[in-house]
Structure 1
Amino acid sequence: MIFGIICKEDIGALNLAGRVREWVRAKGYECLVEDHLGRHLGISHTDPPWEKADLLVVIGGDGTILRAIWMSAGRQIPILGVHMGYLGFLTEVTEDEVYVALEAVLAGKFVQEERAMFESTLIREGRTITSQHVLNDVVINKGALARIIDIEVWTDSTFITCYRADGLIVSTPTGSTAYNLATGGPIVHPQVDAIILTPICPHVLSNRSIILPDSQEVIIVIKSGKQSDNIYLTLDGQRGFPLVAEDRLIVKRGHYKANILRFPQRDYFEILRTKLGWQER
């Protein structure tokens, strides 16, 4: 087995990544690292972990995991997330638990949980600008100017509505606890096959989240806006693209899945209770 380590550029995460690398090598396994981690540790360049590793140990927060999944999506490498961020729903292992978790992985005492991803394609004047898989969400929002965006939404050949809002979130069930939740959207269990549409600050107060089956294709058309309006498409918080009127965005269930390693002693609702403070009185 070849291990790979991806970590955020934070001194605590970098130091932990160095200790994990030493542990992996002491067990007799090869360990690949990102360039910035290699420079921090003073070691020679390795192959990119997302290209050659059999398992990725991702140290940081959910943003670091999303970056790792974006880089490795085509290979669908199993990912063990180690929490070093602020509020992580994908990184369930803590710094104190990392070696116990790695031992469990080597012993096969883990659950590999498949998470659905969406394929998002941006089309302008009949030309594909970008096509990318996302694990959390596709977000359309405005820049600095306080102007409402008109966003037309269809599913397959059926018209849903034209939102007048600050933006729109198209979320996977995994992403339902991210930006979607912050804007008042619903929490959807990650094993539910669904597409969640949540408007951001809609002008019509009766506009609420809509949950669709992910067997359908969502077509979004930007009906207002010129380049100077600073309307942006953001994919999993990793890449951004400016939008203009009549741009079309197609979101559908993707071919790839994210493989997240979890452990039987900690279930999804325990993570929700802990992260969202549901047990507090």
Structure 2
Amino acid sequence: MKSIFRQVGLFGKYQTTAAPALAASTRAALEDIAEFLSSQGCEVVVERDTAANAGLTGYPTADVVAIGTQCDLGLVVGGDGTMLGIGRQLARHGVPLIGINQGRLGFITDIRLDQFRTVLPPMLAGEYDEDHRSLMHANVVRDGQAVFDALAMNDVVVNRGATSGMLELNLEVDGHFVANQRADGLIVASPTGSSAYALSAGGPLLHPALPGYVLVPIAPHTLSNRPIVLPDAVEITIELVSGRDASANFDMQSLASLMHGDRITVRRSQHKVRFLHPKGWTYFDTLRKKLHWNEGAPLTP
């Protein structure tokens, strides 16, 4: 089968502090995948930092923006964190992404590393299911000026400091006051992020096709303060009233320190991330595998 994708951008997990054995394993995996893509008729372009930190040579390199403008497909080798970072950057370019899991969970990098040789050929030939994931556009407003701006695919989290007490937060939706909350923090999660930190904090799972957000308090002072699901057409505003060492985290990959009176706004981004999955993939397959559903002993009469 001939690939319908002419140029493929290859991204990897490239922490420079990784143990030598892990770094060697990453380099070997990237080399194998790059060679395989070339054998399928694809021109491989390796993301510049991936190539430098993995020691991968023999292929043209480019930064993420250049890959977004020139490549037909992005192939991400790593865990969900790697995919989150690349997905946010490539969403504005509309480049579809395939994830090969070299991490722990793999909710959004769903092809096992040992299966790529059998799973990729039909996908490269056009036999795949496409899945669009919404992004959140968030910013921190201080004294009427935006001092921080970020995209998030999973969640926006307002958190207390490691050694400080509870935060006091005012919550608004579309400019309407909702509640004053005292808690360790508050999570605004997309359907994609509903299976991440929000789930650990007691939130519900949202199917990725749902146009909504879930607001999940972290260790609330009032036990009646429960998670709530909202439509993603609204604008959510969280104001920090009191509390020390508070911060706002965006996909746990970028962070803004907060001051009293800061307002964190979250709204739907105009961009979406395009994921490609093997033909026949469903979200429920992922839940069964990653959450280990149906693994208990069968019931006996």
How far off its partner does 1:214 sit?
A: 1.0
Cα distance per residue 1:156-213 (max 9 Å; x no partner): 1221111101111000011100000011110010001111100111111111101111
Matched-pair contact (CA < 8 Å) for 1:14–1:37: no
Paired residue secondary structure (1:21):
helix
Among 185, 193, 196, which residue is 1:167 paired with? Answer: 185
1:49 to partner: Cα distance: 4.5
Bigger shift: 149-158 or 259-268?
A: 259-268
Residues 14-58 of structure 1: per-residue CA shift (max 9 Å, x gap): 321111111122333221112343231244761124532221111
Classify the secondary structure of the residue corresponding to 2:288.
helix
Residues 21 and 31, structure 1, Cα contact 8 Å, conserved in 2? yes
Retained in 1: the 8 A contact 2:77–2:102?
yes
Cα contact 1:6–1:49 (8 A) shared by 2:
no
Aligned with 1:259 (options 274, 287, 291): 274
Q: Distance in 1 between matches of 2:42 and 2:172?
A: 50
Letter in 1 for 2:245: N
Conserved in 2, the CA contact under 8 Å of 1:149 and 1:166?
yes
Query: Which residue identity is paired with 1:208?
Result: R
What residue is the counterpart of 1:273 in the other structure?
288
What's the secondary structure of 1:41's corresponding residue? Answer: coil
Partner of 1:27: 40
> Which of 50, 54, 57 in structure 2 is aligned with 1:37?
50
1:204 aligned to 2:222?
Answer: yes
User: Are 1:249 and 2:264 matched, yes or no?
Assistant: yes
Q: Counterparts of 1:69 and 1:257 in 2: how far apart (Å)?
A: 9
Among 141, 146, 149, which residue is 1:131 paired with?
Answer: 149
Query: Retained in 2: the 8 A contact 1:34–1:49?
Result: yes
Q: Which residue of 2 aligns with 1:3?
A: 8
Point out the more displaced range, 33-42 or 78-87. Answer: 33-42
Instruction: Report deviation, 1:128.
Output: 0.9
**Residue in structure 2 matched with residue 79 of structure 1 by the alignment:** 97
Between the aligned partners of 2:39 and 2:64, the Cα distance in structure 1 is 18
Q: Which runs of 5+ in 2 are unaligned?
A: 1-5, 15-21, 297-301
TM-score w.r.t. structure 1 length? Answer: 0.94
Task: Report the identity percentage.
Answer: 35
Give the TM-score, by structure 2 length: 0.88
Q: Is 1:48 aligned with 2:48?
A: no
Alignment RMSD: 1.5
Residues 164 and 245 in structure 2, CA contact (< 8 A), matched pair in contact too: no
